[in-house]
Amino acid sequence: MFIILLASIVIVSIATALSGSTYAIRFATNYMMWIALAQSLNTITGYVGRVDFGHVLFFGIGAYATAYLYLNGVPWYIALLAAPAAAALAAVILGFPTLRLHGAYFAIATWSFAEAMKQIVYNTEALGSSFGLPIPPTLGYISTLALMTLVAIFALSMNWAIERSRLGLAFNAIRGNELVASTAGVDVVRYRVLAYALSAIPAALAGGIYTFWISYVYPDDVFHGLKTDQMFVMTLLGGAGSFIGVFIGTTIVSIVYEILWTFFSEQLYLVFLGVMLMAIVVFMPNGVAHYMGLRTYSARRLLYSLIPPQLLGYRKKE
């Protein structure tokens, strides 16, 4: 199944490039970007069970790290490779103190990090402040599609490897019951931080390529919370904790977005995201992958984890 999935991605990318259609290339590039982003969120949310409301932080860090280095004379490929390093470092620095938090506290902390970084960029002249940074045309449409496809393949391969490794068993143990996992000898905080750092890498690479794609980077775009919302819908719709499920969710949402954006309006798409999120939690909490016989992580359990333990205890007493 994994090989078939990768082959289909490569075939779509090659066929799109050969078509010569600017519209098709744009759609395919955008689709590959969302595959990488949704899979990156799945690493921390689907496998470890931590709700990350600020995952767009790593996309933005990757975009700005690439843009800043490139504009200061660093070759584009080195600037691009520096993006995941910067994002992973940020994940480790932020992860050690915050991944000790539980439920809604971690979710709020991650959202705060993304918003704080946006404000820092707003007030940093070297990063263009609120005006952003224009990037000279560097990569052609075909090259951008090829790079984004490689990042999508990398993100899928990483999660495929996680699901079939001892690392994945450790992640699942933490997601299921971290107290039991700790008793069994799993270093809970270290593994959480590792998952957080791994999740940052595909997101940052996608952000760096995105910078060269649109030839402009500004905070309201690369740190926009809607990007995280879209990652969540893709992840939960397909089935959190399953790389195949998240891929299916990404495909469905990308097609729906393109239809609504092309023929209707972006506002209608925002309504779609909200309705889909509610529908998933109520009617299909385990996602599409669950009906394919694949193990997934319930959206209800995920959202239930946001309830503070004190309230849970209070409810039990009643």
The answer as to whether 244 is a domain residue is no
Q: Which secondary structure element, helix H or strand E, spans residue 133, and what is its range?
A: strand 133-134
The answer as to whether 188 is a domain residue is yes
Q: What is the pLDDT of residues 110-148, one digit of tens each?
A: 999 999 999 999 999 999 888 889 999 888 899 999 999
Say yes or no to pLDDT of 23 above 80: yes
Mean pLDDT value of segment 25-32: 95
Return the structure tokens found at 101.
């938090």
Say yes or no to pLDDT of 168 above 70: yes
* pLDDT value of position 317: 43
The answer as to whether 236 is a domain residue is no
Say yes or no to pLDDT of 249 above 60: yes
* pLDDT value of position 308: 64
Between 33 and 283, whose confidence is greater?
Answer: 33
d(CA 259, CA 256): 5
The answer as to whether 167 is a domain residue is yes
The answer as to whether 272 is a domain residue is no
* pLDDT value of position 61: 96
Mean pLDDT value of segment 56-76: 95
* pLDDT value of position 313: 58
Q: What is the pLDDT of residues 223-238, one digit of tens each?
A: 998 899 899 999 999 9
- 216 phi/psi in degrees, rounded to 5: -165, 140
The answer as to whether 145 is a domain residue is yes
Say yes or no to pLDDT of 310 above 70: no
Question: Residue 69: which domain range?
Answer: 2-225
Say yes or no to pLDDT of 68 above 60: yes
Q: Is the pTM of this model over 0.75?
A: yes
The answer as to whether 303 is a domain residue is no
Mean pLDDT value of segment 203-219: 95
* pLDDT value of position 305: 80
The answer as to whether 259 is a domain residue is no
Give residues with Cβ within 8 angstroms of 87, minimum separation 6.
58, 61, 62, 65, 200, 201, 203, 204, 207
Q: How many domains does the chain have?
A: 1
**Do 66 and 135 form a contact (C-beta atoms < 8 A)?**
no
Phi-psi region of 59 (alpha: psi -120 to 50; beta: other; left: phi over 0): alpha
**Do 92 and 101 form a contact (C-beta atoms < 8 A)?**
no
Q: Tokens 């109520």 identify what position?
A: 282
Say yes or no to pLDDT of 153 above 50: yes
